[in-house]
Structure formats: structure tokens, C-alpha cells
Amino acid sequence: MEDNYQRRFNAPKSKKQRIGRKIPRVLKKSEIDALMSVIDKPRDRCALKLMTDCGFRLSEVVYLRIEDIDLSERQILVKQSKGNKDRLVPIPRSSELLVLIPTVRNRRKEGYFLHKSSNKGEKPFSTRAIQRQVMVYSKLAGLEGVHAHTLRHSYASYCAENNVPLEVIRDNLGHSNLATTSIYLHTQTASRREKMDYVQF
């Protein structure tokens, strides 16, 4: 008679269990630099930099408000994002965002950071508009198949490559658990290959 473990082992797997989690596509640092080199508008650079330098989701870029940006502390408060959670995201000291944000914000004290004006007042850009910017600029830079989420993936992968603790990456991305974040360890094939070159077999 099979015990409980054996029955569980032999039980048919659900579709979700069979598929597993795919390794995301990420851009190299040189590819991100190439992407940014074709963007002249500070507003557009800022939108993409929030994804590459802070790991923002597309919706988080769109709904970011001026009053949630604290340049003196180099951090941004992301409110009620996925899972209805708030989180503080640091702006890296080396990020161009520290220069771009004051330029784009101008003298405005509140409201949507990236906005468009209409007869009905101030409105945020649509996610479709930002996604279109990503696709247009990536093609200009000679990069294929780049989407907004690719930039967020690249941020996480670049952090992992530079030995940022997984717990820090998890918190910056707003993940609920470490297992979701650990997928970015598998994107570092070149880094892992270099480390393995020091092992004598």
C-alpha cells in the first residue's frame, strides 16, 4: 500500500506546476546604455530610468506622484502597488534620476510626476504610452523584443550581479517572497561561469 508521500509523488501535476517559471530576458549594462543614448527628452529618460535604476513596474511609473519623491533622502514611496502594499525604494547615488527628477518636476509641488494636461485637468500618462516609448526607443537602439518589464528584470539582474543581497532586491521590487526574486540569480550565466573558472576539477 502506497504511503501518503508516494501518492503525492505519483499524482498528476497541475498545468501551473508543469510549466514552472521561465527565466526572464534581461539587458546587459551596455545595452541599457545604448538604449539611453537614443533618448533626448528628460521626461522620457526619467520614465525609463525609474524602471532600470529603481525597478519600477510600468503602472508604478505612471501613477508616481511628486509628493512621494524625497530627493533629500534619495528614496521614493511607492503606494498601494501590487498586493496593495507600500514600499520605499532607494534611488542609487550614481543614478541620473537625481538630476532628471528636478528637471522634469520643475517647480510643481504635487500631482502626477509624469502627466499630460487637458481641458479636464492633469492626467497621468497611460501605461500604453510608456510601453510604446520603450518599444520605439529600443528599436532605435537596435534592441529587439524589449518591453517595459524587461527593464525591471534588468534592474533586478544587475543588482544580483553586483552582489546586492537577495532580500534587498526583493524589498526594492515589492515581491512577497524570496522565491520570486531568486529567479534573477539564474540570469547571471556569465557571472556564474566566471566564478566557476576558478574551480579546479
Q: Is 132 a catalytic residue?
A: no
Q: Is 115 a catalytic residue?
A: no
Only one residue has cell 507600500, namely 86
Which one of the listed residues 49, 115, 170, 175 is annotated catalytic? 175
Q: Which of 110, 134, 106 has the alpha carbon at shortest distance from 122? A: 110
Which one of the listed residues 45, 49, 57, 115 is annotated catalytic? 57
Q: Is 155 a catalytic residue?
A: no
Q: Is 149 a catalytic residue?
A: yes
- Judged by phi (left if over 0) then psi (alpha if -120 to 50, else beta), residue 143 lies in beta
DSSP states of 120-171 as a string? Answer: TEEEEPPHHHHHHHHHHHHHHTT--S--HHHHHHHHHHHHHHTT--HHHHHH
Which one of the listed residues 82, 85, 139, 192 is annotated catalytic? 82
Which one of the listed residues 65, 87, 149, 186 is annotated catalytic? 149
Q: Is 82 a catalytic residue?
A: yes
Q: What distance in Å separates the CA atoms of residue 201 and residue 194, rounded to the nearest whole number?
A: 15
Which one of the listed residues 152, 153, 155, 158 is annotated catalytic? 152
User: Where in the sequence numbering do the catalytic residues fall?
Assistant: 57, 82, 149, 152, 175, 184
